[in-house]
Amino acid sequence: MEAKNNATITNSWNPAEVRMSFFTKPITNKWPSGQPLSLFQVYRYIITRRYKPETELLRTITDDNKARDFKGENLDYVTPSGVFSYCSDNSLVSHSGILCMDLDHLDNRVEELFQLLIHDPMFMTLLLFRSPRGSGLKWFIHIDLSRCDHRTWFIAVRNYLMHTYHLDDKQVDKACGNTSRACFLCYDAEAYILPLLVEYF
């Protein structure tokens, strides 16, 4: 893995051209809705008030099972790693070149890690926002599939996060390595997007 500068694109892959499938709630719906979204469109969904009521209500639910059920029933989701005809690894139409890492149970380290990941020396942060329950982060980065496959990248990045930022096995979700992994959309007015992407829209 080679270091990336947060301000530049170093190869022919263009994050402005990335597309991913969008799925309307509930999580049991596996058929994509409408046209695939760009990173900037996903960012706009997150910073507007589209999911504010659901996000605020979710964060008042203290029971983990009830919170999980509420999230699955009330929040739309995307598949960051690509466009799919159906939400299944076997239904991949085109890979986006993006990996979304799910960091959870961060507690009082959420804001610290938010800033650290924006300036991570190894990976370019494309999109970063606080998770629906507020105790974690969703980190979108570029992966070069000409170097190794999606699963290998996931394992490598997971190990990198655990080692670099002193995170444990539960804080970097090991169940998120499949290509069609869903990422719930929520409200975060202070979400980060690579500034270069804003210039395209």
- At 198 the pLDDT is 85
pTM of the model: 0.93
- At 158 the pLDDT is 97
For residue 117, which of 107, 130, 105 has the smallest C-alpha distance? 130
pLDDT under 50 in the chain at which residues? 1-10
Strand partners, 98: 142
Tokens of 66: 């009830």
In the chain, where the domains are located: 16-198
CB within 8 Å of 191: residues ≥ 6 apart:
43, 46, 47, 127, 128, 129, 130
Do 137 and 161 form a contact (C-beta atoms < 8 A)? Answer: no
DSSP letter for 22, please. Answer: E
DSSP letter for 62, please. Answer: -
Q: Is the peptide bond prior to 195 cis by the omega test (within 30 degrees of 0)?
A: no
Instruction: Compute CA 25 distance to the chain's CA centroid, rounded to the nearest angstrom.
Output: 17
- At 175 the pLDDT is 85
The whole-angstrom separation of Cα 16 and Cα 201 is 9
Do 118 and 139 form a contact (C-beta atoms < 8 A)? Answer: no
> What's the one-letter identity of residue 140?
F
- At 156 the pLDDT is 97
Do 24 and 33 form a contact (C-beta atoms < 8 A)? Answer: yes
- At 97 the pLDDT is 98
- At 4 the pLDDT is 47
Tokens of 51: 């999911």
DSSP letter for 43, please. Answer: H
Q: Is 55 exposed, middle or buried (0-12, 13-18, 19+ CB in 10 A)?
A: buried
Do 13 and 144 form a contact (C-beta atoms < 8 A)? Answer: yes
